[in-house]
Amino acid sequence: MSRTFRLVVACPDRVGIVAKVSNFLANYNASITEANHHSDLATGWFFMRHEICADSMPLDLETLRAAFAPIAAEYAMQWRITDSTEPKRVLLMASRESHCLADLLHRWHSGELECSIPAVISNHDDLRSMVEWHGIPFHHVPVNPQEKDEAFAEVAELVERYRADTIVLARYMQILPPALCDQFANRVINIHHSFLPSFAGAKPYHQAYLRGVKLIGATCHYVTSELDAGPIIEQDIERISHRDSIADMVRIGKDCEKTALAKGLRYHLEDRVLVHDNKTVVFA
Footprint on residues 25-44 left by its own copies (CB under 8 A): 25-27, 29-42
How far apart CA 68 and CA 260 sit, in angstroms, is 34
Whether the Cβ atoms of residue 113 and residue 97 lie closer than 8 Å to each other = no
| Residues in 106-145 that interact with its own copies by CB under 8 A | 106, 109-110, 112, 129, 133
In single-letter form, the type of residue at position 86 comes to E
Helix 246-269, helix 99-109: angle, nearest 10: 40
CB-side neighbour CA atoms (13 Å) of 108:
23
Indicate which single residue of 73, 215, 226, 227 sits in contact with its own copies (rule: CB under 8 A).
215
Q: Is 228 a catalytic residue?
A: yes
Q: Is 243 in the site for its own copies (CB under 8 A)?
A: yes
Residue 214 as a binder of its own copies (CB under 8 A): the answer is yes
279 binds its own copies (CB under 8 A): yes
Residues facing residue 188 across a β-bridge = 167
DSSP assignment letter at 56:
G
Catalytic one among 228, 236, 244, 271? Answer: 228
Q: How far apart are CA 183 and CA 106, in angstroms?
A: 29
- As measured in angstroms, the least distance from the Cβ of 30 to its own copies is 7
Cα distances (Å, whole numbers) of residue 257 to 156, 170, 171, 207, 244: 26, 9, 9, 17, 17
Residues 77, 73: Cα–Cα separation, whole Å? 6
List the x/- string, 61-100, binding to its own copies by CB under 8 A.
-------------------------------------xx-
Question: Counting contacts by CB under 8 A, is residue 173 touching its own copies?
Answer: no
Q: Does 16 bind its own copies (CB under 8 A)?
A: yes
Positions 179 through 208 that interact with its own copies (CB under 8 A) = 195-199
Query: Which positions lie near its own copies, rule CB under 8 A?
Result: 15-16, 18-20, 22-23, 25-27, 29-42, 47, 56, 98-99, 102-103, 106, 109-110, 112, 129, 133, 195-199, 211-215, 217, 231-235, 237, 241-243, 245, 251, 254-255, 259, 278-282, 284
